[in-house]
Amino acid sequence: MISDVDHSVAEKRNRNVREDDIAMSCRVRLARNLAGERFPDWATEADRGRVFAAVSDALRVERPQVRVALIDGFDEQERDVLCESHLISKDLLGRPTGGGVAFESDKAYCVMINEEDHLRIQGFTHGLDMQKAWRTADELDTALEKHLKFAWSPQLGYLTACPSNVGTGLRAGAMLHLMGLRLLGEIEPVIRGLERMRLLVRGVCGEGSEAAGQIYQISNMDTLGTDESFIVSRIQRICAEVVRQEHNARVRLIRESPLVLVDCLARSLSVLQNARLLSTSEALEFLSAIRLGAALKLCTRLSVSDVDDMILVMQPGHLQKWHGVTMTSEERDEQRAFLLRGQMNGIRLKCGAVKAGR
C-alpha cells in the first residue's frame, strides 16, 4: 500500500479523477400543463383530482412499470426520503391534496403531478450526460402527449403557471461538487461568471448563497427563444467547463497548497470519527471535504460513491427510515454522529509526504 504521496504521484492520480467525481448528476425537467385546466395554485381540490387521474392514466398506459401515488399516501419519512433523493421538490410536499409523484425503480425519470405546474417531467442521469437526461424527459413527454392535451401557443410555446418557465418549459441542470475551488477561495468569481451568462447557480442543500457542502446546481435561466437541444448542449458545455476549472483547482491545490488540503481533510476526518452530535449541515460540510479526499485517492478504503451514500443516508428522512423510528432532532444528531463514526472507523489519510514535505 502506498502511504507516501509525492507531488507527481498525486498529480497522476488527479488526472484519473473521473468527471463523475465532480459532476454528481444531471436533471432535465419539462413543465407541462393541461389545456383548459386551472394551474395547481388556483385549482380546486376537484380540479387537482381530475388532473391527477388523467395524468396517472396516461402514465400507466405509456409506462406499465410506473409507480404513481398521491403524496398524501406516503408517511412523513418516505416523503423526506423522496425529497432527499432529489426526486421531488420541497414545494410539492407543502401543497394541498392532489399532489402526486410517478417514477420507476431505476429512477431514471420522475414526474411530479400538481406541483407548480400540472406536470414536471424530469429525466435524471449520473455524471454529466445531460443529453441522456434530456432524451428521457423528451420521450416521456412525447408519449404522454398522445393522451393529454398540453397547453401550448405558437408564440409562447408551452404555457406554464409562472411566466419564467414559458416556452420550452425546460430547465437543464447539473449538480457539481466544487470543493477545490472553494478551498482555493475561487468559487465567487466562477459563480459571478456563470450568473453573467444568465445561468442559475444555487446551493443544492441549505439556504442562502453559501452552498452547504459546496454542492451547486447550475441550470439555465431562460426558457423562451432557443430550442431544447440548444439549451441542453449549452448548459452541458458550460458545466463541462466548470468541471475543468474544478479539476484544475484540485491540481493546483495539491501542487501549491497541499497543507491547506491536508489540514481540511484531517480536521474533517477527526470530527467525523469523534463527534457525538452532528447536525445535517455540519455532517455535510465534513463529508464534502472527505468526498474531495476520496476523489483524490487520499483516503484509505473510501470511494467517492461510498461518500455519496453516506451523504444520502445521514439525512433526516433516510436516517429515520433506516432505523425504522421517528426521532427528535437531537436524537437524529446523535444517531447521525454514531452512524458516521462507524463508517469512518479505521479510515486514514494517505498524505504523509504531502504534509511532511512542506
Interface with other proteins by CB under 8 A: which residues? 33, 35-39, 41-42, 116, 138, 141-142, 145-146, 149-159, 161-164, 166-168, 186, 189-190, 192-198, 200, 221-228, 234, 237-238, 241-242, 244-245, 248
Nearest distance, CB of residue 137 and other proteins, angstroms: 11
Name the residue nearer to other proteins (CB basis): 143 or 313. 143
Type of residue at 336: R
- Three cell numbers, residue 319: 436516517
CA–CA distance, 208 with 217 (Å, rounded to integer) = 13
From 181, 183, 301, 200, select the one nearest 242 (Cα to Cα).
181
Nearest distance, CB of residue 274 and other proteins, angstroms: 36
C-alpha angle 215/247/279, rounded to 5°?
25
- Please identify which residue in the block is written with the cell numbers 403557471: 161
Name the residue nearer to other proteins (CB basis): 68 or 170. 170
Query: First-to-last CA distance in the chain?
Result: 22
Nearest distance, CB of residue 161 and other proteins, angstroms: 5
Nearest distance, CB of residue 251 and other proteins, angstroms: 13
From 96, 130, 114, select the one nearest 55 (Cα to Cα).
114
Name the residue nearer to other proteins (CB basis): 234 or 323. 234
Strands 215-220 and 199-203: antiparallel
Q: Which residues pair with 100 in a beta bridge?
A: 70, 113
Name the residue nearer to other proteins (CB basis): 161 or 284. 161
Name the residue nearer to other proteins (CB basis): 159 or 278. 159
Nearest distance, CB of residue 303 and other proteins, angstroms: 29
